Amino acid sequence: MTLHHNHKIFIALGSNLGDRFENLCDAVDLIEQQLGLIIKVAPVYEVPAMGFDGNDFLNSCILVHAIKTPAEALEILQGIEKSMGRLPKTGESYENRVIDLDILLYDDVIMDDPQLTVPHPHMLDRDFVLKPLSAIASDVEHPVLKKTIGSLAFSKELEHLVEESGISLSRKQILDNLISKNKSSLDNDHLALNRFPIDQLNFIAIEGNIGSGKTSLAHKISEDFKGKCVLERFADNPFLPLFYEDKERYSFPLEMSFLADRYQQLSDDVAQHELFSNFTVADYYVIKSLIFSKITLHSEEYALYKRLFNMMYKELVKPDLYVYLYQTEERLLENIKKRGRDYEQNIEASYLAQIQQGYSDFIRSQKDLKIKVIDVTDLDFVNNQADYIKVLEQISEAIVAN
């Protein structure tokens, strides 16, 4: 499976037509729905139009985590501008505009393309860009100048920017526009955590059938919310490809090796917190060992296996939230085929149905674990940002529920 890593994209926003503040809020909302998760929001500043005779601007900056390339990000931002009513320029000079969205920084990438140049070539000449950017990227290094944004902003005269009365709470208002029930404090600069309180957990386990996307989701959540990611080491198991060729012969050694490895990994990685991680998220929990072994083992083997499992299970840390991703067998087979692992291509729908039933029986019987089942059959939370937000909202609802 190819895991898509987040890119840190700093974007400048400006508006000087209509309800300027509402335009900024709408743009931020569309960016989060179409491009990536909003991580930081800068204060909003009001400044006179520069380079032409026009209305005063409201300007701000945001940090977005996204898997898109620079070209893809640019295309999305231009589409948002168009959907909000921005018109093409009619002349060579600057003009009034409903919304203006510019990519300032994209990781530490340096590129000069006819369609896009990063870092933005004029960001250091525009105080109305540099000051809000420095509020959320003070320690970020300019990839060309090798100086921090904070030091570059400090070296310029920025006093003429006005953070007016009524605009001083604009960060909170933009955040409230994204999630109406937001109760967060702006003291935490990682604003995504305020809207999706995943950091309230110590350990979240994400499970699902083969091909459900549990690894992709665990990876995305760990990157967006500064979590420690624990991924199952199935690729290193020498019995797995053999099992798919001869289930009768290799079921027991496969399940025993998985159990030993899962127990060791969860004991070592979940129990030990890392200094810069808010929580731990895993793409499995040890209970899957019991579910899969019940399907694959003979009754005598399963009885022995269950005795060993129970001895190990009582020693492990239990997840604060257990998330199960449900997909239909038809969709799972499509996903399995798409990711192209040779040893998985002969998996049958009946086998997936057995696994599905095993998870269903486990979930219904549980009284000690806090469980959230999310139907992701019609969601593509890897490539569709809006679907990812839907999943995060459901996880957040489970966290705050009694």
Q: Which candidate in 107, 127, 283, 342 is catalytic?
A: 283
Smallest Cα–Cα separation from 324: which of 234, 227, 232, 217?
217
Smallest Cα–Cα separation from 285: which of 214, 353, 225, 197?
214
Query: 12 and 54 in contact (C-beta within 8 Å)?
Result: no
Query: 384 and 216 in contact (C-beta within 8 Å)?
Result: no
In whole angstroms, give the CA distance from residue 282 to residue 229. Answer: 6
**Catalytic residue list contains 53:** no
What's the sign of the alpha-carbon dihedral 338, 339, 341, 346? negative
Known catalytic residues are: 283
